[in-house]
Structure 1
Amino acid sequence: MAERGVVAGLKEELTCPICLSIYSNPVSLGCGHSFCKECIQEARSRRPSPQSPFSCPLCQARADPAAELQPNVQLRSIAQKFLDAPAQQEEEEREVQCEEKGESSGQEDEVILCDFCLQEPQPAAKTCLSCEASLCQAHLIKHNTKSPSKDHVLMEPCDSQVLAKRRCPQHGKLLECYCETDLVCICMLCCVMSSHKDHKITCLEEAFGRVQSVFSETLDKVKRHEAELKQSIENLLKKEEEVKTKEHLQKSRLESLFKEVYLQINDKKEEILKALRQNEEEQLSQIRSEIRKYKEMKDAVSRDIQELKALRDQKDHLLFIKTFAAIQAREPKPVPDADSVKLPVLPVILDESKTDITLRSLEQFLSSVQFLFIRLPVHEHLTFTVRSKYVVLSSCKEVTPSSASSSKAGACKALPHVVSDQKFSKGCHFWEVDTSNATCWKLGIICHTSECYLEMSHDYLHVVESQIIVTEELPTALKVVRLCLDCERNTLSFYDVSVKDGDPDVSLRFIETVSIPGTYPVRATFGVSDGSLNLL
């Protein structure tokens, strides 16, 4: 057994660090390390260019690439004698057998290869962070026996990308410390040269111990956070399904509504077009009948003309007189006036006024659809703090004129008004006003450049925008008026709000929609000279 240990130790000293075989024609570098001549020459040939520096594979000492390799004659002689010894031959046979057994039982997985194997690289057993190289088991044994390499940091085999992450990107040194101030891993130079020099620094082992002590607590905290996020996602998914369901329902209702409207309009269109076609056929039939009658009368007159022309050559007095008398006795009927022909009355008379009424009804329908399906405005309960010179606020819900305002604004000219405290710049809002106790009033919005309002003046209702009447001939039987301000579409709409007898549900009747300049913010404005306005 002692002899076998001596042989193993001698073999280790006579093994080339590159090929891991007994030295063959060994040569020495300036640092004193020896290698097989072929191995070191191949290692030198791997340089990017002949001018690139060359380092010793063991100690990384710089060597002159142009220097001639010096043969180590003594080492070569010792290696040859070792190879000729019987004990060495038996050892080699046992190693071959072990390698064959290992190859037969191993699995072919993708592994990191040894950086020192030149001919057939073997799978790496460890990676040296100091050397930045991966070593197989054989090279690892050789690596660990060298005094300068005993303090190197070893880790599981990894590639160059992992190695790069374990080095400081600023100094290129190993990350051996932990900065508790910035919670980052740093190298030794960072501790004394960079912004971390005044921070609380610990070694990785101590930092690892502290992390391990709070690891379970942190894991539980992260798990709770994950559960909260999961619950939030489930709630959002539920809301998503609710939105999809509501959207599908609204879409179905809207499609049904427009389909029904289309069917009714199309049926009415076909009915009217059919009536127009029938009326056209009746008129054309009557006109053609009159044309045939007139043609018959024309043919009779043409025959009389021919007979009169032929009578010119009649020399017999008796025949001339008898024939002329007969022609003269056929007194021609008076030619009728074409306008006197009575035709069937058109079933539809579509003039400009009826076109406007129809389009207004369509606008009312579209506005109702927009109100029902697109968005619901926010009901604003307005308040006031500003009092006009001629308007008295008996409460925050009622606007009444003073005696001075009644005399000055009797004709509803320049109605005194108050404005709301609230300003509106975005969104969709509405407010309602009871006008049943007032006969001369105006309701609308106002800003520093323009004013738009609905005005009632002695049973005459109209919409005014920037002192210009934009709509007249509006329904005047109003009790409650709703004003709907849409800041996104820059529109102000007016609705008649009434309650049907026996039906508590509020119904809306469209009055008018006006485009406003879009100069925000705006305020609600109220004016009255006779009676009072009540805010609902």
Structure 2
Amino acid sequence: MASAAGLRKELECSICLNIYTDPVMLKCGHNYCRECIDRVLNTQKQSFFCPECREEFRERPTLHKNITLRNIVENFVNTQPDPEGSRIFCSHCVDSPVAAVKSCLHCEVSLCDKHLSVHKRSPEHVLSDPTTTLENRKCSIHKKILEYYCTEDSACICVSCCLIGEHKGHQMESLEEASEQKKKKMRNVLQKMATEKEEIEEKVRSLEKHGVKVKTKAAGEREKVTALFKDLIRQLEELEKKILSEISSQEKQLSFSNSDQIQRLEIKKDELSRKIRHIEELCTMVDPMTILNESEIPDFCDSKKDKDGHDNLLHDLDVVGISYSLHTGLFNLITGVNKGICAEKASEILLDVNTASVKPYISDNKKTVSWSEISQNRTVTSKRFQSYPQVMSSQSVSSGRYYWELDVEGSENWRIVLCYPSMDRTGDKSQIGNNDKFWGLYRVNRQYAVVYNGNVIHLPAIIFSGRVRIYLDYEAGQISFYDLCHPVRHLHTLTATFSEPLHVVFGVWKGSIKVFGDIS
């Protein structure tokens, strides 16, 4: 049974998933039912290709009968058991059942190839695919063959239904015409479905390609991080050795000094012990002349104590110096890490007053924009925003990686975006988010969202810190937004293919937006 099942699988058309009927072969070697491949080729207008291997043909391919495959199919079908009695056999082959190829609706019989060749060909003998439900091909009221289609009631009817039945006077079509009309609609649907399938396949390929790109990028980042930490460990170990060596050096030096002092003091102690014994001997003498003639005794101890008092000074480890060396080493290490992993930064954001609309107030250092009800009496020019309270940065970015950090806590409603300098300066399209030249973040009525190409994506999160970081990777086509809380929280990333330099644009309604100091 397993081999029969495998053979049946090999004999199935990849389009209809049934056993081949009238199998034909394309130039590429793949086989299909003639009707199935005809239907597919009818949907291919500008170019023709094999549905399986996608090999293209300059002209509609000629369908060659695969006689060998047809014989294999017939032998397989004739030798397979039919436990459910679903196969249809020739009504005239009573001695040995032979599979029917057609059914005659007029005679209500099924016919094999042999008996079909001698069957009457008169018009009333309507042939169809083999079926056991011949009564379904005749009118249930007039018992005549269904030959027409009522377009008003969407029903198959006989000639009597047209002339005297309930469908009299209705719009009629022959079954062939109605079938062709339906086939035409089905082909249109099939074409749309095929187009949609191709689009989905293209999206899948694009996603798969992006997935490979992400994996490659992740592997690269993984290697960079691993190398970074290896280098950090190496530098930390070197710093550790250096600090420990400095401690050991001080310890050795202090130990040597201490040992030298001890040695000198021991010598002095021995000398004092000898002199103490001498004086003690003198003190036991009774001869006054001997005692008075001793010249070393007067003020001996006091004078020596004053002379050698510095020997009692104690020297300790230079903890302050060691701590300074440690902190200096760690600081240099962290500074080096920052240079290695931080994105290139915009050295400064300066607002271009020549682009500011008439009301917003721009600070003297050109780093803060504030909402104002009072006109600033600015001259209207082609560069100036005229419809909305907005201002553009002086600098533009056309390559590289940057980030900007902004304080938005002082504004209730605001918009911060990157945009092309070719954006409109008047009318509705000059407002942030109303055209295809903006990529940014905004807050309106305590709701946060990102905007791009006229689209809006609402964010479920809120900005807790009141500070926002915008990160740009121009070549990668990525703009990311972060909330500078602790820890830093990613809000959203937009992707695009940039075709112009990018400026930062601020829009403010109530309050102010300002840049964090010098970003350098």
Check whether TM > 0.5: no
TM class, shorter-length:
0.3 to 0.5
TM-score, length of structure 1 as denominator length: 0.34
Higher helix share: 1
Given the two structures, how large is their TM-score scaled by the length of structure 2? 0.35
Q: Which has the larger radius of gyration?
A: 1
